[in-house]
Amino acid sequence: MDPRNDLDLIEAAKAGDTASFGELVRRHAPRLLALARQFVGPDAAEDVLQEAMVDAYRGLPGFAGHAAVGTWLYRIAVNRCLQERRRAKPPVVDVEPMELLARWEDPDYSVDPALVAARRAHAETLQALLGQLPEGYRNALLLHDGQGLSASELAAVTGIPLGTAKSNIRRSRLALFALLAQDDRGLLEEAR
């Protein structure tokens, strides 16, 4: 692994060192790929991430260091994901918990088909409900709750004021809870 920090790698990449840019991509790709999977689904995530990294490489001359390199790359990836999502509706969210990966490595772990079906049903419900939210709320949920970005990071990545980011986080949760409550009421009436 290259011991240089991200800013040193950016400067080297600006000077034409493609290996330095490759190191930046290796450092940030896992988090960016997780983001892309949540925004556009697992099938399109790698293509979207590749397009985002091409955008980043082309944008190297314009990087002035006002934001952290990771934040800059994240914003480029978010923009590319939003473009893809607008182009290829409906939104797809990969909600399978990462903790399952550790379980799959355990030789004693077995898959319960009923549990898999229940998780898939929950994922489909969540996808449908997220599709009903305004884009700003959906982005707040995916980036803040799904990716763990702070409100200030959400603001930086999406280009909105910090107060709006905080408001979107709060309002998106309330809107999602309201939609979940409506969905639960509908299920209760269907059961009657």
pLDDT digits (tens, 9 = 90+) for 110-167: 666 677 677 777 777 888 888 899 989 998 988 888 888 889 888 888 889 999 999 9
What pLDDT, in 10s, does the model give residues 27-71? 999 999 998 988 888 888 999 999 999 999 999 999 988 888 998
To the question of domain 95-192 being in CATH 1.10.10.10, the answer is yes
What pLDDT, in 10s, does the model give residues 90-115? 544 444 555 555 555 566 656 666 77
Is the pTM here over 0.75, yes or no? no
**Looking at the domain that runs over 1-94, which CATH code has it been given?**
1.10.1740.10
Q: What pLDDT does 58 receive?
A: 93
Nearest CA among 130, 97, 94 for reference residue 115: 97
Mean pLDDT of 79-89: 82
- What span, in angstroms and rounded, lies between the C-alpha atoms of 128 and 93? 10
Nearest CA among 174, 136, 133 for reference residue 155: 136
- What span, in angstroms and rounded, lies between the C-alpha atoms of 160 and 167? 11
Contacts of 138 (CB under 8 A, 6+ apart): 91, 130, 131, 172
Contacts of 111 (CB under 8 A, 6+ apart): none
Higher pLDDT among residues 20 and 180, named by residue: 20
What letter does residue 16 receive in the DSSP assignment? Answer: T
Comma-separated ranges of CATH 1.10.10.10 domains in the chain:
95-192
- What span, in angstroms and rounded, lies between the C-alpha atoms of 42 and 39? 9
Comma-separated ranges of CATH 1.10.1740.10 domains in the chain:
1-94
- What span, in angstroms and rounded, lies between the C-alpha atoms of 28 and 22? 10
Q: First vs last Cα of the chain: how many Å apart?
A: 61
Residue 188 pLDDT grade (very low, low, confident, very high; cuts 50, 70, 90): very low
